[in-house]
Amino acid sequence: MPSQPSIPAAARHVVFAVAPELVLLDACGPVEAFWRAELAMRAASGTRGGTSGAEPCAYRTTLASVAGGVLPTFAGMPIVTERLDTLDPATIDTLIVPGVPIDDTTALQPELVAWIAAAAPHARRVASVCTGAFYLAGAGLLDGRRAATHWRNASQLARRFPRVEVDPEPIFIRDERDGRVVWTSAGVTAGIDLALALIEEDCGHAVAMQAARRLVVFMKRPGGQSQFSEALAAQATAGGEFDALHGWMAANLHGELSVERLAEEARMSPRTFARRYVDAVGRTPARTVAAMRVEAAAHALAQSRRPLKRIAADCGFGTEQNLRRAFERCYGVLPLDYRARFAAS
Protein backbone atom coordinates (compact mmCIF):
# COMPACT_ATOMS: atom_id res chain seq x y z
CA MET A 1 0.00 0.00 0.00
CA PRO A 2 1.54 3.37 -0.97
CA SER A 3 2.83 5.71 1.71
CA GLN A 4 1.92 9.38 1.57
CA PRO A 5 3.78 12.34 3.07
CA SER A 6 3.85 12.08 6.85
CA ILE A 7 2.07 15.42 7.42
CA PRO A 8 -1.02 16.08 5.24
CA ALA A 9 -1.47 19.55 3.83
CA ALA A 10 -4.91 19.81 5.45
CA ALA A 11 -7.07 17.72 7.71
CA ARG A 12 -9.14 15.19 5.81
CA HIS A 13 -12.87 15.30 6.52
CA VAL A 14 -14.19 11.80 7.20
CA VAL A 15 -18.00 11.62 7.23
CA PHE A 16 -19.86 8.65 8.67
CA ALA A 17 -23.33 8.51 7.11
CA VAL A 18 -25.32 6.50 9.62
CA ALA A 19 -28.78 4.96 9.71
CA PRO A 20 -31.02 4.26 12.73
CA GLU A 21 -30.09 1.07 14.61
CA LEU A 22 -26.44 1.71 13.76
CA VAL A 23 -24.09 -1.09 14.83
CA LEU A 24 -22.12 1.06 17.23
CA LEU A 25 -18.68 -0.52 16.85
CA ASP A 26 -18.90 -0.21 13.04
CA ALA A 27 -18.65 3.55 13.53
CA CYS A 28 -16.92 4.14 16.86
CA GLY A 29 -14.08 1.70 16.07
CA PRO A 30 -12.98 3.57 12.94
CA VAL A 31 -13.65 6.96 14.58
CA GLU A 32 -11.30 5.98 17.40
CA ALA A 33 -8.68 4.77 14.90
CA PHE A 34 -8.73 8.09 13.05
CA TRP A 35 -8.45 9.95 16.35
CA ARG A 36 -5.47 7.84 17.40
CA ALA A 37 -3.84 8.66 14.07
CA GLU A 38 -4.61 12.31 14.74
CA LEU A 39 -2.78 12.07 18.08
CA ALA A 40 0.19 10.43 16.37
CA MET A 41 0.29 13.17 13.73
CA ARG A 42 0.09 15.91 16.36
CA ALA A 43 2.98 14.32 18.22
CA ALA A 44 4.99 14.20 14.98
CA SER A 45 4.24 17.84 14.16
CA GLY A 46 4.75 19.09 17.71
CA THR A 47 1.18 20.37 18.11
CA ARG A 48 -0.85 19.94 21.26
CA GLY A 49 -2.85 16.77 21.81
CA GLY A 50 -5.84 16.07 23.99
CA THR A 51 -9.28 17.57 23.55
CA SER A 52 -8.44 21.20 24.19
CA GLY A 53 -9.63 22.46 20.83
CA ALA A 54 -6.42 22.36 18.79
CA GLU A 55 -7.10 22.30 15.05
CA PRO A 56 -6.82 18.80 13.55
CA CYS A 57 -3.83 18.19 11.33
CA ALA A 58 -4.71 14.75 9.96
CA TYR A 59 -8.41 14.00 10.30
CA ARG A 60 -11.68 15.49 11.45
CA THR A 61 -14.67 13.19 11.71
CA THR A 62 -18.40 13.82 11.51
CA LEU A 63 -21.25 11.44 12.29
CA ALA A 64 -24.34 12.44 10.36
CA SER A 65 -27.80 11.04 9.76
CA VAL A 66 -30.82 11.98 7.69
CA ALA A 67 -32.70 13.65 10.54
CA GLY A 68 -29.72 14.64 12.67
CA GLY A 69 -29.94 14.86 16.43
CA VAL A 70 -30.10 11.83 18.71
CA LEU A 71 -29.92 8.53 16.82
CA PRO A 72 -30.78 5.13 18.34
CA THR A 73 -28.17 2.42 17.92
CA PHE A 74 -28.47 -1.35 17.83
CA ALA A 75 -26.60 -1.58 21.14
CA GLY A 76 -29.13 0.73 22.79
CA MET A 77 -26.72 3.60 23.38
CA PRO A 78 -27.90 6.76 21.56
CA ILE A 79 -25.46 9.00 19.71
CA VAL A 80 -25.73 12.62 18.60
CA THR A 81 -25.47 13.24 14.86
CA GLU A 82 -25.48 16.17 12.47
CA ARG A 83 -27.98 16.45 9.63
CA LEU A 84 -26.63 15.14 6.35
CA ASP A 85 -28.21 17.97 4.37
CA THR A 86 -26.15 20.53 6.33
CA LEU A 87 -22.89 19.05 5.00
CA ASP A 88 -21.20 20.31 1.86
CA PRO A 89 -20.32 17.17 -0.16
CA ALA A 90 -17.41 19.04 -1.73
CA THR A 91 -15.66 19.10 1.68
CA ILE A 92 -15.84 15.34 2.18
CA ASP A 93 -12.59 13.47 1.70
CA THR A 94 -13.79 10.03 2.83
CA LEU A 95 -17.39 8.88 3.06
CA ILE A 96 -17.97 5.83 5.26
CA VAL A 97 -21.27 4.01 5.71
CA PRO A 98 -21.37 1.78 8.82
CA GLY A 99 -23.72 -1.16 9.16
CA VAL A 100 -27.12 -1.82 10.66
CA PRO A 101 -28.91 -5.12 11.34
CA ILE A 102 -30.26 -6.38 8.01
CA ASP A 103 -32.38 -9.38 7.13
CA ASP A 104 -34.50 -10.33 4.12
CA THR A 105 -37.30 -7.99 5.19
CA THR A 106 -35.18 -4.94 6.04
CA ALA A 107 -35.81 -1.88 3.89
CA LEU A 108 -32.97 0.57 3.37
CA GLN A 109 -33.63 4.16 4.41
CA PRO A 110 -34.39 5.74 0.98
CA GLU A 111 -33.28 9.24 1.99
CA LEU A 112 -29.90 7.91 3.07
CA VAL A 113 -29.48 5.91 -0.16
CA ALA A 114 -30.28 9.02 -2.20
CA TRP A 115 -27.86 11.20 -0.21
CA ILE A 116 -25.04 8.65 -0.61
CA ALA A 117 -25.62 8.45 -4.36
CA ALA A 118 -25.50 12.25 -4.65
CA ALA A 119 -22.53 12.82 -2.31
CA ALA A 120 -20.28 9.93 -3.33
CA PRO A 121 -19.02 11.47 -6.61
CA HIS A 122 -17.61 14.41 -4.63
CA ALA A 123 -15.62 12.27 -2.17
CA ARG A 124 -12.07 11.10 -2.85
CA ARG A 125 -13.06 7.64 -1.70
CA VAL A 126 -16.10 5.82 -0.35
CA ALA A 127 -16.17 2.97 2.13
CA SER A 128 -18.56 0.73 4.02
CA VAL A 129 -18.30 -1.32 7.18
CA CYS A 130 -20.27 -4.55 7.51
CA THR A 131 -23.81 -4.19 6.12
CA GLY A 132 -23.08 -0.61 5.13
CA ALA A 133 -22.28 -2.34 1.83
CA PHE A 134 -26.03 -2.70 1.28
CA TYR A 135 -26.33 1.09 1.26
CA LEU A 136 -23.43 1.48 -1.17
CA ALA A 137 -25.00 -1.19 -3.38
CA GLY A 138 -28.40 0.48 -3.11
CA ALA A 139 -26.80 3.71 -4.30
CA GLY A 140 -25.32 1.91 -7.30
CA LEU A 141 -21.74 2.31 -6.12
CA LEU A 142 -20.88 -1.40 -6.07
CA ASP A 143 -22.18 -2.41 -9.50
CA GLY A 144 -19.50 -4.47 -11.22
CA ARG A 145 -17.21 -4.23 -8.22
CA ARG A 146 -15.80 -6.83 -5.86
CA ALA A 147 -17.11 -6.17 -2.35
CA ALA A 148 -16.94 -7.53 1.20
CA THR A 149 -19.44 -7.54 4.01
CA HIS A 150 -20.01 -9.54 7.18
CA TRP A 151 -19.87 -13.22 6.29
CA ARG A 152 -23.39 -13.77 7.64
CA ASN A 153 -24.81 -11.26 5.15
CA ALA A 154 -22.69 -12.10 2.09
CA SER A 155 -25.18 -14.40 0.38
CA GLN A 156 -28.00 -11.99 1.11
CA LEU A 157 -26.05 -9.08 -0.42
CA ALA A 158 -25.37 -11.19 -3.52
CA ARG A 159 -29.05 -12.12 -3.89
CA ARG A 160 -30.31 -8.61 -3.35
CA PHE A 161 -27.74 -6.95 -5.60
CA PRO A 162 -26.72 -9.46 -8.30
CA ARG A 163 -24.49 -6.92 -10.08
CA VAL A 164 -22.13 -6.89 -7.08
CA GLU A 165 -19.28 -9.42 -6.98
CA VAL A 166 -19.56 -10.40 -3.32
CA ASP A 167 -16.55 -12.06 -1.70
CA PRO A 168 -17.35 -13.42 1.79
CA GLU A 169 -13.74 -14.13 2.72
CA PRO A 170 -11.60 -10.96 3.05
CA ILE A 171 -11.54 -8.60 6.00
CA PHE A 172 -11.65 -5.67 3.58
CA ILE A 173 -11.41 -5.00 -0.15
CA ARG A 174 -10.07 -1.97 -2.01
CA ASP A 175 -11.58 -1.70 -5.49
CA GLU A 176 -10.34 1.05 -7.78
CA ARG A 177 -11.73 1.52 -11.24
CA ASP A 178 -13.11 4.27 -13.45
CA GLY A 179 -11.28 6.84 -11.33
CA ARG A 180 -13.16 5.95 -8.14
CA VAL A 181 -11.89 4.12 -5.07
CA VAL A 182 -14.41 2.08 -3.07
CA TRP A 183 -13.50 0.16 0.08
CA THR A 184 -15.76 -2.42 1.72
CA SER A 185 -15.12 -4.40 4.87
CA ALA A 186 -16.41 -7.18 7.06
CA GLY A 187 -18.24 -6.41 10.28
CA VAL A 188 -17.57 -4.87 13.67
CA THR A 189 -13.82 -5.05 14.50
CA ALA A 190 -12.95 -5.30 10.78
CA GLY A 191 -13.93 -1.63 10.60
CA ILE A 192 -10.81 -0.87 12.65
CA ASP A 193 -8.70 -2.84 10.16
CA LEU A 194 -10.29 -0.83 7.35
CA ALA A 195 -9.59 2.48 9.09
CA LEU A 196 -5.96 1.51 9.73
CA ALA A 197 -5.58 0.68 6.03
CA LEU A 198 -7.03 4.09 5.09
CA ILE A 199 -4.67 5.77 7.55
CA GLU A 200 -1.71 3.90 6.09
CA GLU A 201 -2.70 4.95 2.58
CA ASP A 202 -2.91 8.59 3.70
CA CYS A 203 -0.19 9.00 6.28
CA GLY A 204 2.19 6.09 5.88
CA HIS A 205 2.92 2.84 7.64
CA ALA A 206 4.52 4.41 10.73
CA VAL A 207 1.45 6.48 11.62
CA ALA A 208 -0.89 3.52 11.03
CA MET A 209 1.23 1.35 13.31
CA GLN A 210 1.29 4.05 16.00
CA ALA A 211 -2.51 4.23 15.79
CA ALA A 212 -2.73 0.44 16.07
CA ARG A 213 -0.45 0.44 19.11
CA ARG A 214 -2.49 3.19 20.76
CA LEU A 215 -5.60 1.07 20.18
CA VAL A 216 -3.81 -1.96 21.68
CA VAL A 217 -4.71 -3.89 18.54
CA PHE A 218 -3.11 -7.32 18.63
CA MET A 219 -1.89 -6.96 15.07
CA LYS A 220 -2.62 -4.93 11.97
CA ARG A 221 -4.38 -7.41 9.70
CA PRO A 222 -4.02 -7.34 5.90
CA GLY A 223 -7.25 -7.01 3.95
CA GLY A 224 -6.78 -10.31 2.18
CA GLN A 225 -6.81 -12.24 5.43
CA SER A 226 -9.88 -14.39 5.79
CA GLN A 227 -12.70 -13.34 8.12
CA PHE A 228 -12.60 -16.89 9.43
CA SER A 229 -10.14 -18.17 12.02
CA GLU A 230 -9.58 -21.88 11.53
CA ALA A 231 -9.37 -22.47 15.28
CA LEU A 232 -12.52 -20.45 15.91
CA ALA A 233 -14.39 -22.11 13.06
CA ALA A 234 -13.46 -25.54 14.36
CA GLN A 235 -14.55 -24.62 17.88
CA ALA A 236 -17.86 -23.23 16.66
CA THR A 237 -18.60 -26.31 14.57
CA ALA A 238 -17.69 -28.71 17.36
CA GLY A 239 -20.11 -27.03 19.75
CA GLY A 240 -17.57 -26.85 22.58
CA GLU A 241 -16.64 -30.54 22.76
CA PHE A 242 -13.13 -29.99 21.43
CA ASP A 243 -12.53 -26.34 22.42
CA ALA A 244 -9.64 -27.15 24.74
CA LEU A 245 -8.10 -29.46 22.17
CA HIS A 246 -8.28 -26.83 19.42
CA GLY A 247 -6.60 -24.29 21.67
CA TRP A 248 -3.88 -26.81 22.45
CA MET A 249 -3.46 -27.60 18.75
CA ALA A 250 -3.06 -23.92 17.86
CA ALA A 251 -0.33 -23.57 20.51
CA ASN A 252 1.51 -26.71 19.42
CA LEU A 253 1.51 -26.59 15.64
CA HIS A 254 5.25 -27.16 15.59
CA GLY A 255 4.91 -30.56 17.25
CA GLU A 256 3.53 -33.95 16.30
CA LEU A 257 -0.22 -33.71 15.79
CA SER A 258 -1.05 -37.21 14.65
CA VAL A 259 -4.43 -38.75 15.40
CA GLU A 260 -2.76 -40.81 18.13
CA ARG A 261 -1.25 -37.72 19.78
CA LEU A 262 -4.50 -35.74 19.52
CA ALA A 263 -6.48 -38.68 20.91
CA GLU A 264 -4.08 -38.85 23.85
CA GLU A 265 -4.60 -35.14 24.54
CA ALA A 266 -8.38 -35.62 24.26
CA ARG A 267 -8.19 -38.66 26.57
CA MET A 268 -9.81 -41.00 24.08
CA SER A 269 -8.74 -44.01 22.09
CA PRO A 270 -7.57 -43.11 18.55
CA ARG A 271 -10.54 -44.86 16.94
CA THR A 272 -13.12 -43.24 19.21
CA PHE A 273 -11.48 -39.84 18.87
CA ALA A 274 -11.33 -39.97 15.07
CA ARG A 275 -15.01 -40.94 14.83
CA ARG A 276 -16.29 -38.39 17.34
CA TYR A 277 -14.15 -35.62 15.87
CA VAL A 278 -15.50 -36.10 12.35
CA ASP A 279 -19.06 -36.26 13.72
CA ALA A 280 -18.60 -33.01 15.69
CA VAL A 281 -16.44 -30.92 13.33
CA GLY A 282 -17.37 -32.32 9.92
CA ARG A 283 -13.81 -33.01 8.80
CA THR A 284 -10.89 -35.14 9.85
CA PRO A 285 -8.40 -34.03 12.51
CA ALA A 286 -5.69 -34.01 9.83
CA ARG A 287 -7.59 -31.45 7.76
CA THR A 288 -8.04 -29.19 10.77
CA VAL A 289 -4.33 -29.42 11.57
CA ALA A 290 -3.40 -28.60 7.96
CA ALA A 291 -5.75 -25.59 7.87
CA MET A 292 -4.43 -24.23 11.19
CA ARG A 293 -0.84 -24.61 10.03
CA VAL A 294 -1.41 -22.74 6.79
CA GLU A 295 -3.26 -19.98 8.63
CA ALA A 296 -0.45 -19.66 11.18
CA ALA A 297 2.12 -19.51 8.39
CA ALA A 298 0.10 -16.80 6.64
CA HIS A 299 0.07 -14.72 9.85
CA ALA A 300 3.83 -15.21 10.25
CA LEU A 301 4.53 -14.18 6.66
CA ALA A 302 2.39 -11.04 6.89
CA GLN A 303 3.50 -9.95 10.36
CA SER A 304 7.20 -10.87 10.51
CA ARG A 305 10.35 -11.08 8.44
CA ARG A 306 11.21 -14.57 9.66
CA PRO A 307 12.79 -16.75 6.94
CA LEU A 308 10.70 -19.48 5.33
CA LYS A 309 12.79 -22.20 6.94
CA ARG A 310 11.96 -20.88 10.42
CA ILE A 311 8.26 -20.42 9.64
CA ALA A 312 8.07 -23.93 8.19
CA ALA A 313 9.56 -25.36 11.38
CA ASP A 314 7.46 -23.20 13.74
CA CYS A 315 4.21 -24.10 11.98
CA GLY A 316 4.89 -27.82 11.71
CA PHE A 317 5.61 -28.15 7.99
CA GLY A 318 9.10 -29.48 8.54
CA THR A 319 10.59 -28.21 5.29
CA GLU A 320 10.25 -25.12 3.12
CA GLN A 321 9.11 -27.35 0.27
CA ASN A 322 6.16 -28.63 2.30
CA LEU A 323 5.24 -25.04 3.20
CA ARG A 324 5.36 -23.95 -0.44
CA ARG A 325 3.19 -26.86 -1.53
CA ALA A 326 0.61 -26.13 1.16
CA PHE A 327 0.48 -22.44 0.22
CA GLU A 328 0.08 -23.13 -3.47
CA ARG A 329 -2.69 -25.60 -2.70
CA CYS A 330 -4.60 -23.26 -0.35
CA TYR A 331 -3.88 -19.77 -1.73
CA GLY A 332 -2.64 -20.37 -5.26
CA VAL A 333 0.53 -18.37 -4.60
CA LEU A 334 3.98 -19.01 -3.21
CA PRO A 335 4.71 -17.92 0.38
CA LEU A 336 7.03 -15.07 -0.59
CA ASP A 337 4.48 -13.76 -3.08
CA TYR A 338 1.92 -13.76 -0.27
CA ARG A 339 4.34 -11.83 1.94
CA ALA A 340 5.01 -9.28 -0.80
CA ARG A 341 1.28 -8.63 -1.13
CA PHE A 342 0.19 -8.64 2.51
CA ALA A 343 3.25 -7.80 4.62
CA ALA A 344 2.56 -5.19 7.31
CA SER A 345 5.85 -3.42 6.61
Q: Which of 123-137, 191-205, 233-247, 321-335 has the lowest mean pLDDT?
A: 233-247
- In this predicted structure, the answer to whether residue 9 has a pLDDT above a threshold of 70 is no
- In this predicted structure, the answer to whether residue 255 has a pLDDT above a threshold of 90 is yes
Determine whether domain 12-214 maps to CATH 3.40.50.880. yes
Mean pLDDT for 111-120 is 98
- In this predicted structure, the answer to whether residue 161 has a pLDDT above a threshold of 90 is yes
CATH of 230-342, one of 1.10.10.60, 3.90.1300.10, 1.20.140.10, 2.170.120.20: 1.10.10.60
- In this predicted structure, the answer to whether residue 158 has a pLDDT above a threshold of 80 is yes
- In this predicted structure, the answer to whether residue 219 has a pLDDT above a threshold of 50 is no
Provide the pLDDT for residue 2. 37
- In this predicted structure, the answer to whether residue 331 has a pLDDT above a threshold of 80 is no
- Active-site entry in 130, 203, 315, 330: 130
First to last CA, the chain: 9
Distances (CA, A) of 325 to 256, 290, 311, 320, 321: 19, 12, 14, 9, 6
Which residues have C-beta within 8 Å of that of residue 51, sequence separation ≥ 6? Answer: none
Provide the pLDDT for residue 20. 95
Paired strand residues for 176:
181
- All structural domains of the chain with their residue ranges: 12-214, 230-342
Distance separating alpha carbons of residues 326 and 289, to the nearest angstrom = 12
Which residues have C-beta within 8 Å of that of residue 99, sequence separation ≥ 6? Answer: 22, 23, 26, 128, 129, 130, 131, 132, 133, 149, 150, 187
Tens of pLDDT, residue by residue over 119-141, are 999 999 999 999 999 999 999 99
**pTM of the prediction?**
0.68
User: Residue 188, SS3?
Assistant: coil
Paired strand residues for 125:
94, 181
Residue 3: which pLDDT band, with cuts at 50, 70 and 90? very low
Paired strand residues for 258:
none
Residue 28 annotated in active site: no
Mean pLDDT for 156-176 is 91
Q: Which of 37-41, 207-211, 230-234 has the lowest mean pLDDT?
A: 230-234
- Averaged confidence pLDDT in the chain: 86
Mean pLDDT for 106-114 is 96
